[in-house]
Amino acid sequence: MIKLGYDRLFFIQIRHDYFEGPCTDISIVPTIACEKNLTNHALIFKQLPDGCAILFSKNEKDEIKQKISSLTSFRFVLNVRNSTVENFTNLPYPSAKLGKRIFYFSNLTNAGIIDSTTTLAKSTGNELGDKDYGWLVNTELTLPLGGNFTQVNLSQLIPGTGKKLIKFFPATGLQNLHIDLTKIDTLPDSPFSLKTGNYILDFTGASQKTEQIYIDNSAETTNAWGVIDIVKDSTIDYTVTTNYSLTGKANPWSYYLIDPANKVTITNNTLANLSTATTGLSGLAFSWIQEADIAPDTYEQRQYALLKQRNAGKRIFLLRSNRGMPKSAESTVSVKLTLDGIQRTLPNPIGSQFKSDSIQTL
């Protein structure tokens, strides 16, 4: 009997603390280049409810059909299945936008070395954060500088090599810097067009910052949320199945309290006659977040601004929980608010993975 079969090479799994486990709101799709690399190495892509699996083929002798013999990239686009999810992570949107914000994940270290760990997120706590996103840009790139920088360096993270400088651009006194990414003028290969991939912009001067940009036409879809780049080489161990994971953070609960009759008393920068108490989750507490302390360009900030507009002349108080709240808390936690000695139970926010809030009138 001829024996043919497949075995698991690696998984990519999407998880979210809100669900306390797997998340099915994002699908993983291989790019055209990835599909070619999969075919060339007799690999099979299998979509799973919470991610994907890559399988390798075996021949009739139970041997690996086509081993990976050189550095090879397998790039996948992350698409949001739920069109109502405006921001899977609820992270701030920086004010100086360079393009469409997109998350970029790779199993490469910052030195371009294949990382043996299985967590793709680079941010603190192995969960998604602001270190994981960059900008999906057009080939005509305009950088807002505001006269704050002296130079902009364009580099690329090369697998096995590390960060490689492509070109530097003088920027002293410039308000904006225009770069045509299809006509990068350097010697000896001038001019040339940047290929699909992840690039790094280092801004130097009195103010310094680093931004990631990503170029890929296949990611320019309305629901593209991120890109995963898994790099393998001849050192790959086919006897070990690698399970890569991405984990989103659960967001805190927020209560927007509208105070039309000025019932709340503020003394020494505290809410003197208003307090909250909770049951059902140990250590849970709520704090007053003043407007100046709300992160800009977030759902929370936009919601606060909208409520101010709709309730002109009325005070609005934002109370926020001290921890991320899982979906299970919606049925187990009780939040009680006391104002001038009168207690009432607040409704639990019925949230999602990107927002959990409730609007109440005092």
Compute the average pLDDT of residues 84-112. Answer: 68
Q: Which tokens in the block code for residue 244?
A: 């890569």
Q: What is the pLDDT of residues 200-227, one digit of tens each?
A: 899 998 888 888 888 876 666 667 788 8
Average pLDDT, the chain: 84
Q: Which tokens in the block code for residue 201?
A: 């912009």
Of 229, 248, 267, which marks where a domain is finished?
A: 248
Could you tell me if 162 and 289 lie in one domain? no
**How many domains is the chain built from?**
2
Residue 358 pLDDT > 70: yes
Could you tell me if 177 and 233 lie in one domain? yes
Range of the structural domain that residue 351 is part of: 254-361
Could you tell me if 89 and 215 lie in one domain? yes
Compute the average pLDDT of residues 220-236. Answer: 81
Query: What pLDDT, on the 0 to 100 scale, is given for residue 222?
Result: 62
CA-angle at 199, arms to 194 and 202, nearest 5°: 120
Of 224, 248, 272, which marks where a domain is finished?
A: 248
Could you tell me if 295 and 230 lie in one domain? no
Give CA torsion, residues 155, 157, 162, 167, to 10 deg: -10
The DSSP annotation for 124-155 comes to GGGS--TTSEEEE--SEEEEE-TT--SEEEEE
Could you tell me if 273 and 302 lie in one domain? yes
The residue that leads in pLDDT, 277 or 164, is 277
Residue 268 pLDDT > 70: yes
**Measured CA distances, 1 to 6, 57, 61, 177 (Å):** 16, 17, 11, 66
Query: 33 by DSSP, 3-state: which?
Result: helix
Confidence of residue 1 (pLDDT cuts 50, 70, 90): very low
Q: What span, in angstroms and rounded, lies between the C-alpha atoms of 207 and 200?
A: 17
Query: What is the amino acid identity at position 87?
Result: N
Residues 6+ apart with CB under 8 A from 168: 151, 152, 153, 154
Residue 76 pLDDT > 60: yes
Residue 34 pLDDT > 50: yes
The DSSP annotation for 170-221 comes to E-TT-SEEEEETT-B--SSS-SBPPPSEEEEEEEESSS-EEEEEEE-GGG-S
Q: What span, in angstroms and rounded, lies between the C-alpha atoms of 227 and 33?
A: 13
Query: What pLDDT, on the 0 to 100 scale, is given for residue 336?
Result: 96
Residue located via tokens 């609960």: 253
Could you tell me if 129 and 262 lie in one domain? no
Of 248, 278, 311, which marks where a domain is finished?
A: 248
Could you tell me if 241 and 268 lie in one domain? no
Query: What pLDDT, on the 0 to 100 scale, is given for residue 219?
Result: 65
Out of 14-18, 49-53, 216-220, the most confident range is 49-53
